[in-house]
Amino acid sequence: TVDTPITVPSPSLPPLILTQDELKKVAAYKAVEFVKSGMVLGLGTGSTAKHAVDKIGQLLRQGDLKDIVGIPTSKMTHEQALSLGIPLSDLDSHPVLDLAIDGADEVDPYMNLVKGRGGSLLREKMIEGCCKKFVVVVDESKLVKHLGGSGLAMPVEIVPFCWKFTAQRLQLLFNEVGCVAKLRTCSENGQPFVTDNGNYIIDLYFEKDLGDLNAASDAILRNPGVVEHGMFLGMATTVIIAGGRGVTVKNK
Ligand code: 5RP
């Protein structure tokens, strides 16, 4: 395991051979250096954010952090944080957070994100939109030139009512960039994947560059069946990227 983050990219040194999970841990631990006693923290969801939540739990146990309040972005993170003894709250009681740490599926050069391949995009966006500082932690495989250009899913959370109709509307919306809309299903039983909020996820796959992201965001949200989408535009204040040659910290 890698406990001490590498802080300076070193092109002169040979690259370190770390697994993807070790890189995630390096980025997550680096982000936890921003956490101070007394903070209200957004706790992210996914395999990268999990490392940050584990580390926060460890620092609390050791007495190196005190008076932390965590606001989990999913039921899964809620369970994890509970098991670590992290005191928890919600947006009703703490509408302003000091800091959130979360992973991402894609990060573009302007620090725009795709999130939600883990299915928690709605709570993530609600919570991370209320943070003074939103630190995104990724391994270098998440870096893309254009959001949606990796050929992987752009998640959209929709209400289950007439989901086929909403999926068709979304696919038609992006006809010009070769869009396919697919209902996310559970691999175990083929049933629709249901989010923590009781909704479905439509994954959009694009053949071409999406173009104007703000216009795409507005167009998606204009559909009444849509609850939220996984583009996080202009929200990240810091992105921490772990790669074989070290850690890069990008600030807004
Ligand atoms: C969950 C998310 C995750 O942050 C995103 O999917 C990244 O996950 P991982 O760290 O496991 O790669 O948005 O909804």
Pocket test for ligand 1, best of 75, 105, 137 (most atoms within 8 A of CB): 105
Residues designated as active site = 124
What is the DSSP code (8-state) at residue 88? B
pLDDT digits (tens, 9 = 90+) for 49-63: 999 999 999 999 999
Give yes or no for residue 228 CB within 6 A of ligand 1: no
Q: Which whole number is the average pLDDT over 179-192?
A: 96
**How many angstroms is it from 203 CA to the middle of ligand 1?**
14
Q: pLDDT tier at 15 (50, 70, 90 boundaries)?
A: low
Contacts of 119 (CB under 8 A, 6+ apart): 74, 155, 184, 193, 195, 196, 201
Pocket test for ligand 1, best of 101, 120, 126, 195 (most atoms within 8 A of CB): 120
Give yes or no for residue 203 CB within 6 A of ligand 1: no
Q: Which helix (H) or strand (E) holds 58?
A: helix 47-62
The neighbouring-strand residues paired with 183 are: 202
Examine the pLDDT at 29 and tell me if it is beyond 60.
yes
What percent of the chain has a predicted confidence (pLDDT) above 70?
A: 94
Residue nearest to atom 5 of ligand 1 (CA): 104
Examine the pLDDT at 70 and tell me if it is beyond 80.
yes
Give yes or no for residue 47 CB within 6 A of ligand 1: yes
Give yes or no for residue 117 CB within 6 A of ligand 1: yes
- Which range has the worst mean pLDDT, 12-26, 110-124, 134-148, 224-238? 12-26
Nearest to 113 by CA among 252, 230, 241: 230
Give yes or no for residue 74 CB within 6 A of ligand 1: no
Examine the pLDDT at 118 and tell me if it is beyond 70.
yes
Average pLDDT over all residues of the chain: 94
CA angle 207/212/214 to nearest 5° reads 120
pLDDT for 16: 65
